[in-house]
Amino acid sequence: MDWEIEAYRRSVAGLSPDTVRAYASDVGRFAEWAERGGASGPADVDRITLRRYLAFLATRRYAKATISRTAASLRSYFGWCARRGVIAADPSVRLSAPSPDSRLPRVLGHAELDRLLQPVPLTAGSEGAGQVSAPGAGARDVRDDAVLELLYASGMRVAELCGLDVDDLDLDRGVVTVTGKGSKQRQVLVHARCVDALRAWMDGPRTTMAGAAPGGTLFYNARGNRLGSRDVRRILDRRSPVPTHPHALRHSYATHLLDGGADLRVVQELLGHASLQTTQVYTHVSKERLRSVYSGTHPRA
């Protein structure tokens, strides 16, 4: 009997690359553990085995978030096995795991964002706004300007930004077509400053960094391949004076929209959330900020 993990990986290929990688890795680690206990395939696994595995992870001091994701991975995998008829019944139905510790996402202040999004001055030999005559650091800086502006202007996920092609942009209308989780497409709006940063990148430096990646790729890394999530993390490491995760720009985008009076369902649509409940975490962030402002400004607070 075979666990068919590669076939399972292909079946969830519509999810984000990071999710596919995590799910397949979780299932692979479970299969290795189960085989040590005598299981030769998914048909040898029952609900008790799954619960014991999650308990095993807890004794090894895995984070609650990791255990929770592992439970989701196993539910996805065994559901797939049941649909294919590999197993008679799905042992993962209603498999629960400890809820991850609730933490409000970090939101960047306006002063922080101003520093982070301040364009890097062009190198010597620049010709016009955003056009650098020589490849290298100058081209990279123009690309980084466009990446950061786009992340905060649109609130898109890092994986969504890395997957963008030139054809996904309609800069005349200030609209970007994003392919999100489950291959679902949505359109997001970008402001004029972001459009200018994208044009500066596309009208010159982009061609100097293009390499092996398909010609329609929007962002390239220094090796000439499509920009990856780790590349985006390095951009933040270079630009931010304090440690900042790229996802913080998405959190900040949503929170600032709500602070400005945007409707929650509009923000849900812009973020690409399937459930309104997922978007509601940002209302808690806004309430915390309001409490902070109140406490710091009211004379009797």
Q: Which two tokens stand for residue 38?
A: 């005598």
Which one has a higher pLDDT value, 30 or 210?
30
Q: 83 CB contacts (<8 Å, ≥6 apart)? A: none
36-52 average pLDDT score: 94
Q: How confident is the model at residue 301 (pLDDT cuts 50, 70, 90)?
A: low
44-71 average pLDDT score: 93
Residue 95: which of 32, 53, 151, 133 has the closest Cα? 53
51-80 average pLDDT score: 93
Range(s) within the chain of domains with CATH label 1.10.443.10: 112-244
Q: 229 CB contacts (<8 Å, ≥6 apart)? A: 18, 158, 159, 162, 246
Write the single-letter amino acid at 121: P
Any idea which of 52-61, 71-80, 144-153, 284-293 has the lowest mean pLDDT? Answer: 284-293
Residue 125: per-residue pLDDT: 44
Which one has a higher pLDDT value, 205 or 147?
147
41-62 average pLDDT score: 94
The CATH number of the structural domain formed by 5-83 is 1.10.150.130
High-pLDDT (> 90) share of the chain, %: 55
Any idea which of 68-72, 218-222, 254-258 has the lowest mean pLDDT? Answer: 254-258
192-215 average pLDDT score: 87
Residue 297: per-residue pLDDT: 76
| pLDDT one-digit tens code per residue, 156-178 | 999 999 999 999 999 999 999 99
Residue 132: per-residue pLDDT: 36
Q: Which architecture, in CATH terms, is 112-244?
A: Orthogonal Bundle (1.10)
Q: How confident is the model at residue 129 (pLDDT cuts 50, 70, 90)?
A: very low
Range(s) within the chain of domains with CATH label 1.10.150.130: 5-83
- Look up tokens 């969830």; give the residue: 12
| pLDDT one-digit tens code per residue, 266-292 | 888 888 888 887 787 777 666 666 677
115-132 average pLDDT score: 59
Residue 290: per-residue pLDDT: 66
Residue 15: per-residue pLDDT: 84
Q: Which two tokens stand for residue 100?
A: 């991850």
CB 188 within 8 A of CB 178: yes
CB 208 within 8 A of CB 139: yes
The answer on pLDDT for 124 being more than 80 is no
66-91 average pLDDT score: 94
State pTM to two decimals: 0.65
The separation between CA 136 and the C-alpha centre of its own chain, rounded to angstroms, equals: 27
Any idea which of 24-33, 89-98, 126-135, 266-275 has the lowest mean pLDDT? Answer: 126-135
Residue 183: per-residue pLDDT: 81
Q: How confident is the model at residue 29 (pLDDT cuts 50, 70, 90)?
A: very high
Q: How confident is the model at residue 38 (pLDDT cuts 50, 70, 90)?
A: very high
Q: How confident is the model at residue 52 (pLDDT cuts 50, 70, 90)?
A: very high
CA dihedral 283→284→288→289, nearest 10 degrees, is -30
Catalytic residues: 157, 181, 247, 250, 273, 282
Residue 187: which of 166, 167, 169, 162 has the closest Cα? 169
Residue 100: per-residue pLDDT: 65
Any idea which of 139-148, 268-277, 288-297 has the lowest mean pLDDT? Answer: 288-297
The separation between CA 297 and the C-alpha centre of its own chain, rounded to angstroms, equals: 36
